[in-house]
Amino acid sequence: MAQATQRELLAARIFLRAVLPVIKVLLTEDPAFKKRFAKVNAKVQFLAKNDPADVGACLVFEKGDFRVEQGICNKPDISFVFRNVSRMNAMFAGKPAIPWISGLSKPGLLIKVFSLLMGLMILMPNARPKDPAKRRLKVKMTFYMITTALSQYNKGKDPEMVKWTSRQPERIYQITVDDDIAAYLRVKAGKTKAGRGTYTKRRPFLHMRFNGVEGAFPIVMNDIDMVTAVRQGHLSVEGSPEYGANIGDFMMRIQNLIT
């Protein structure tokens, strides 16, 4: 059995702990997915074989409710099993990677899950929706994903991220798009935690305020960098520009890791 590299394990960590959880946004805010999964009661396992321990996570649907359980769940209805971590990462990155699938006796559920995985592809760098509702969905899912990914990048022991977080007292890095789209990263003495919404217990050390969805969209699509976004009025930054640049650098590292 193959043993994954640290880079592969870090990428898997971000896919399983930062990307999969934003499926909840699709299920609650996209009318088609909300209706399609309203009565689904099932577990869907993603598993990559690895030495010394397999890597995976389970999607749990409970008639409108949804959560991601890390690890291996008991008696899943459908399982996607990959022969190594690299292949699982490739599938999540939208590249060809065919898993072994159990649960073919439940074709209706399988079709719904495939449609959900296709819906998750809205996060891909080349997905450029024109519909305003889809653009809003992409912006919201991206910022929810990236703040969680930053925390997981630290928890996964990336050396540069660990060095950066370990030197800081308690600080809040807040991202705000509008009243409905906001997320933050909390850093304290090397530990990190991501959250959705506005952090209310402490004033942000760095606050990136976007000029609505249309202001955030060019950044999400990497059409412009943050300096250009500020100059063009898409973004205002309250706090140290240096730390804003650090956050931007780590975002790019994560994107390169998982694409």
Q: Of the candidates 79, 101, 123, which is a domain's last residue?
A: 123
Q: Are residues 118 and 222 in the same domain?
A: no
Give the model's pLDDT for residue 64: 86
What's the domain range around 195?
A: 132-258
Q: Are residues 119 and 50 in the same domain?
A: yes
67-100 pLDDT per residue, tens: 999 999 999 999 999 999 999 999 999 898 889 9
What integer best gives the mean pLDDT of the chain?
A: 94
Q: Are residues 252 and 145 in the same domain?
A: yes
Q: Are residues 250 and 184 in the same domain?
A: yes
141-161 pLDDT per residue, tens: 999 999 999 999 999 999 999
The alpha carbon of 232 is separated from its chain's Cα centroid by a whole number of angstroms, namely: 27
Give the model's pLDDT for residue 254: 94
pLDDT confidence tier of residue 245, bands split at 50, 70 and 90: confident
pLDDT confidence tier of residue 227, bands split at 50, 70 and 90: confident
Q: Are residues 114 and 148 in the same domain?
A: no
| Residue 118 belongs to a domain | yes
Q: Of the candidates 123, 152, 176, which is a domain's last residue?
A: 123
183-199 pLDDT per residue, tens: 999 999 999 999 999 99
Reply yes or no on whether the pLDDT at 167 is more than 70.
yes
Half-sphere exposure in the Cβ direction for 88 (13 Å, CA): 30
| Residue 14 belongs to a domain | yes
C-alpha span between 183 and 196 (Å, rounded): 4
Quickly count: other Cβ atoms within 10 Å of residue 163's Cβ.
Answer: 10
Query: What's the number of domains the chain is made of?
Result: 2
> What Rg do the C-alpha atoms of the chain give, in angstroms?
19
C-alpha span between 86 and 50 (Å, rounded): 10
Q: Are residues 20 and 88 in the same domain?
A: yes
Q: Are residues 114 and 166 in the same domain?
A: no
Reply yes or no on whether the pLDDT at 105 is more than 90.
no
Q: Are residues 154 and 100 in the same domain?
A: no
For residue 203, the domain's CATH number is 3.30.1050.10
CB-neighbour burial class of residue 4 (10 A; exposed 0-12, middle 13-18, buried 19+): buried
Q: Are residues 92 and 153 in the same domain?
A: no
Instruction: Evaluate if pTM is beyond 0.85.
Output: yes
Give the model's pLDDT for residue 248: 87
| Residue 138 belongs to a domain | yes
Q: Are residues 88 and 141 in the same domain?
A: no
Q: Are residues 196 and 80 in the same domain?
A: no
The strands making up 191-196's β-sheet, listed across from edge to edge, are 191-196, 182-188, 171-176, 206-210, 235-239
C-alpha span between 224 and 148 (Å, rounded): 23
| Residue 108 belongs to a domain | yes
| Residue 241 belongs to a domain | yes
| Residue 97 belongs to a domain | yes
Q: Of the candidates 103, 123, 143, which is a domain's last residue?
A: 123
17-75 pLDDT per residue, tens: 999 999 999 999 999 999 999 999 999 999 999 999 999 999 999 988 999 999 999 99
| Residue 1 belongs to a domain | no
Give the model's pLDDT for residue 1: 63
**Do residues 37 and 64 make contact, with C-beta atoms less than 8 angstroms apart?**
yes
114-143 pLDDT per residue, tens: 999 999 999 998 999 999 999 999 999 999
Q: Are residues 115 and 165 in the same domain?
A: no
| Residue 163 belongs to a domain | yes
Give the model's pLDDT for residue 30: 95
